[in-house]
Amino acid sequence: MEYRVIIAGHTCRTCKMGPASSPEAVVDRLCRVHGVEGLRVIDAPVMPEIPRGQHQRRVHHDRRAGLRLFNRKPIA
């Protein structure tokens, strides 16, 4: 028997944001992944609430805002 998992759209609320002292938190308030040096997550999983409408638009907005926050230019 073959099993498949298919996710339609962007998943939200799968990477909890919080301090490293929280056992459930994956990233801090600056989107840095706990325990992994130099890695940040700016995508739908760190959104604390499921946005209304298209997730993709919100993801692109957050990516651009994150890049400005960290003084990087968007790739495209």
Catalytic residue among 10, 55, 60, 61: 10
Helix count (H) and strand count (E) of the chain?
Answer: 1, 0
Question: Which pair of tokens denotes residue 29?
Answer: 């308030």
Report DSSP state, residue 24. Answer: T
Radius of gyration of the chain (CA): 14
10 is catalytic: yes
- As annotated, the active-site residues are 10
